[in-house]
Amino acid sequence: MSEATYVTYVPKSMRQQLRATLESEDTGAITWREKKLRHGSEFYFSGPVGLARRTHAFLTSWVASGT
């Protein structure tokens, strides 16, 4: 099975909410790690290509909505 890694930039104001959600949920086949930056974080999501792509698309939309 092919795997992929996608990166989503999350602003500082939203990263705690995402981190808390990821730590409290079973992410299944997706593994994640966070690289903290000055004004936000890069979240790296790795796993099966389709699932990693859908995760990235969802988080990109979530960040864009600002909620």
Q: What is the bridge-based pairing of β-strands 3-11 and 31-37?
A: unpaired
* pLDDT of 25: 93
Q: pLDDT at residue 1 above 80?
A: no
The pair phi, psi for residue 8, each rounded to 5°, is -125, 125
| pLDDT tens-digit map of 41-67 | 999 999 999 999 999 999 999 999 987
- Domains of the chain, residue spans: 3-65
Find the mean pLDDT for residues 6-17: 97
> How confident is the prediction for the chain on average, in pLDDT?
95
The pair phi, psi for residue 9, each rounded to 5°, is -85, 130
| pLDDT tens-digit map of 30-41 | 999 999 999 999
